[in-house]
Structure 1
Amino acid sequence: MNGRTILYTGAAGGLGLETSLLLMRRGATLVAIDNDAAKVAALREAAAPIDTGRLVVSTVDLSDLTGFRAELDRLLAELGGFDIVINNAAIYPSKPFEDFSIEEHQRVQRVNVDAGIVAVQAALPGMRARGFGRILNISSITLSGGWANLSPYVASKGALIGLTRAWAREFGPYGITVNAIAPGAFPTDAEKIHPDPEGYNRMVLDAQAIKRRGSAEDIAAAIAFFAGDAASFITGQTLHVNGGWVMA
């Protein structure tokens, strides 16, 4: 990753932190987009031993697409371009479908999908000029069905799979690969929406072929693979990292 600049939304979150650290250990400059103050502080602290000026943090609000694009333009002027884009940030409100307003649906789409579109639009000209780029969209096991009360979130994760395939086809001639990763159930803050944590944990382990909970390092390894040179002939694919819960 030496010399690569990575734009990573949700970089300080439950699955983002370990990936951020791994990519920095491999020499990347990391542009971390995250507006959770406590998690950003934890990222800065964890990265301190390996940060030689290669961690750039922005707390821009992804729901403000105009403001996000302006911030990306500022960062592009400062850093010269993004070689890798990881669209990871997401919100996941939970309630029955009929209780969501259309505005709530639209906000989930704006943060989970439209912000990723803005990120790719900002990065694409530089990727094309360099003849190199890696785009990674983080989808979800929820797209396979089996989860109630998450319809806006599930719809947004399906949209990312569609964009992965469309972008892979369109950007491939310029040396840009586009892939998706669909994490399974990982013990992060996202699980706090479940009212019975112990029961949920048992359900996850019963469903998985591998009888341990996934770790942030499992996702970090998958992202690092797709972001690196070893995956240069893989594009338009979705990798399911879920311990064998859903097999595709």
Structure 2
Amino acid sequence: MSALFSQEGRAALARLRGVPAIFGFDFDGTLAPIRPTPGEVAMEARTAGAFAALARRLPVAVVTGRGVADVRARLAGTPRWVIGNHGAEGMPGADPARQAEQAAICAGWLAQLAGTDALTGAGILLEDKRYTLSLHYRLAPEPESARARLLAASAALHPLPAIVPGKCVLNLLPAGSWDKFRALRELADGAPVFFAGDDENDEIVFRQAPPGWVTVKVGSEGPSAARFRLKSQEAMADCLELLLALCS
């Protein structure tokens, strides 16, 4: 994997100039720094300004695990697409019946989890996003123990969820839900894609991306299937400004 600001990375970005590419971004840990709780997350000023400018000039998609209304309130500018709940919300032509089914499944999981002690430990946060659930354990005194309890509780749910792990979070998706790769592929309709993300659920995109896609892992830690790496979330403002310079 090469650095995004290397000669190879800059050349890959330059090849997107003048073609109908889509520029996709995760939110938490990518466009905004991770905070102790989801409600504290916000874009920083320089990143927000560059992102808003990019969204005015290019086809930009934010593809996130957050709900659409939640992430829209935290975004600078108006990207062409805001896709929430890993692809279950915000897609053009989404099936309302399927969404209603997913919401009903998540409501059932909420009722089942309310009857367990898995959520009663200190530092555990349940985030109800209507079409998916997220179980956060970042603030738990013993995160690995909390994770094990949450995994056991999730595995006992009916119907069984698809569990997508993240940074100190377990995302629970109804079986057959869209993921970020499927959402981006549908939006792109054969066009090249730039996508930056930082978390395990973004690896779903990195692993399946066709050769023409430019995939970027945000953060210096851990292996990744992405083609390029951005050293930190703080460098996202530099990345956005480079995209503006190369592709506008």
- Using structure 2 for the length normalisation, give the TM-score: 0.40
- The structure with more helix, counted as a fraction of residues: 1
- Using structure 1 for the length normalisation, give the TM-score: 0.40
Higher relative contact order, structure no. (Cα contacts within 8 Å, ≥ 6 residues apart):
2
